[in-house]
Structure 1
């Protein structure tokens, strides 16, 4: 059981959710406001993507990231900023020639995937630790070992903590190799991602199996998607982990009731407190995770 829980709120993501809920943030101002809302509701960490303000689709434009981050920082709100570094790995084979990229492909190298991280220098950035089929289409997310090693090397140099996002057991195996190679600062920080098609299923048994493979001393959190968001959060707390909620992973508070990010944070904190725990402050999270802003 974890009695001192780090709560992360993933406020928007890059998925096709903007047409399903008016609460999903799109513009940099809306993303920043959502992060501030989550912090005021009790989240220690805000995980941010940005979207094209015209289309609502996920974007990796450093200008949009900079505006969103600056707005949060300028607000004076104390929250740990965690930026995605997962954009730029999408491969969609061409229907005419599968050896070539088709519409929707966005493949770039390690340095370009981190342009916004170097510009904004958040305390945390995500690092998706392997390749994965996404859904039943031809969309493949690609992160090769050389790309990941180079990304880990760069963020360590900049003092940014990588959140090692693992979607199946092979991802944990590779992340542990990076830890052993000295590319990841102690303590390593894992996010066990459950329910993403076609990654690991969102069950208690799966979470326990993945947790069992983490290196000794690792900090970890987990999340589920859609209606399994809160059950997986409760399971993570019971197993000694931290939690993630937010509109990136689930847009509903109850059946048929659309949520805001703040409401999802409040709901998971209620669950944590009913289990006998508490949500830690942003500074406590920095100290616990050994982030750049930790007390010396």
Structure 2
């Protein structure tokens, strides 16, 4: 059990959700405001993707990240910025007997350093590394993260002095995480996000969660979350397992049956659940100390 936990709010993601809820932030101003509102509701960390303001689709545009980060840093609200580095590893194969060339409509493949261009310029306190390749139950789409790509990204993030949040979607990803730790590519404290319930990844039952927890590197600081209706139950599950919490519209659009969520309302509900469990929320300053982060901006 973790009696001193922090909340991460993943405010928008890159999935096809903007058309399903008017509360999903799309523009840089909306994304920054969502992060600030979540922080005021109790989130110590804001996990940030950006979207093309015209189409609502996920983007790697450094200028969009710059605007979001500048808006957050110039606000009067303290929150730890966690930028995704997961974009640029998307491949959609052609249909049937013609897998190549890939479908250009959904494919976005970039080199490991290109995937870090926004991190290198903006130097957030945290950025994510998705620690493996996996299917996401979407026809011929594959999230692609090869060992070579990840080692190159981890080495560069280490050089930049940014803390990597290692996103783990299945047990095999933890095997690779432990390899990178042994190779000296990940500095202490190791920060891990257990991503549960994603189709064809680790299911979100308690037994699988604890199997993942039991394979973590020694001394790792971890969070755990699940998707949709299981997001809020996982607030309690994560704390009971000894971890921290992630909520937000990246992973779940509903506060309860028939009630669409906002990032603020999901963060408030998570804080209520943790408070009822006698868990003390850690603020940004305490999380920086715990994770040995360097405040930027």
TM-score range, shorter chain: over 0.9
Whole-Å Cα distance in 2 between the matches of residues 98 and 137 of structure 1? Answer: 12
Deviation at 1:205, TM superposition (A): 1.1
Deviation at 1:228, TM superposition (A): 0.0
Deviation at 1:174, TM superposition (A): 0.2
CA offsets 1:162-203 (integer angstroms, 9 cap, x no match): 000000001010011001100001010000001111211111
Report the counterpart of residue 106 of structure 1 in structure 2.
108
Deviation at 1:99, TM superposition (A): 3.1
Structural mapping, 1:225-240, within 5 Å: 225-240=227-242
SS at structure 2 position matched to 1:30: helix
Report the counterpart of residue 251 of structure 2 in structure 1.
249
Whole-Å Cα distance in 1 between the matches of residues 138 and 32 of structure 2? Answer: 32
Report the counterpart of residue 115 of structure 1 in structure 2.
117
Deviation at 1:41, TM superposition (A): 0.3
Report the counterpart of residue 74 of structure 1 in structure 2.
74
SS at structure 2 position matched to 1:273: helix
SS at structure 1 position matched to 2:185: coil
| Consecutive unaligned residues in structure 2, runs of 5 or more | none
Whole-Å Cα distance in 2 between the matches of residues 34 and 275 of structure 1? Answer: 26
Whole-Å Cα distance in 2 between the matches of residues 278 and 21 of structure 1? Answer: 31
Contact 1:269 1:278 in 2 (8 A): no
Deviation at 1:111, TM superposition (A): 0.5
Structural mapping, 1:74-153, within 5 Å: 74-95=74-95, 97-103=98-104, 104-153=106-155
Structural mapping, 1:5-84, within 5 Å: 5-84=5-84
Q: Which runs of 4+ in 1 moved over 3 A?
A: none
Structural mapping, 1:202-241, within 5 Å: 202-241=204-243
Whole-Å Cα distance in 2 between the matches of residues 150 and 77 of structure 1? Answer: 34
Deviation at 1:100, TM superposition (A): 2.1
CA offsets 1:197-237 (integer angstroms, 9 cap, x no match): 12111111111010000011000000011000011121110
Contact 2:35 2:46 in 1 (8 A): yes
Whole-Å Cα distance in 1 between the matches of residues 208 and 163 of structure 2? Answer: 26
| Consecutive unaligned residues in structure 1, runs of 5 or more | none
What TM-score do you get using the length of structure 2 for normalisation?
Answer: 0.97
What TM-score do you get using the length of structure 1 for normalisation?
Answer: 0.97
SS at structure 1 position matched to 2:128: strand
Structural mapping, 1:173-212, within 5 Å: 173-212=175-214
Contact 1:5 1:237 in 2 (8 A): yes
Whole-Å Cα distance in 2 between the matches of residues 130 and 209 of structure 1? Answer: 18
Whole-Å Cα distance in 2 between the matches of residues 53 and 102 of structure 1? Answer: 23
CA offsets 1:45-92 (integer angstroms, 9 cap, x no match): 000000000000111100000000000001131000000000000111
SS at structure 2 position matched to 1:110: coil
Contact 1:32 1:69 in 2 (8 A): yes
Count of residues paired in the alignment = 294
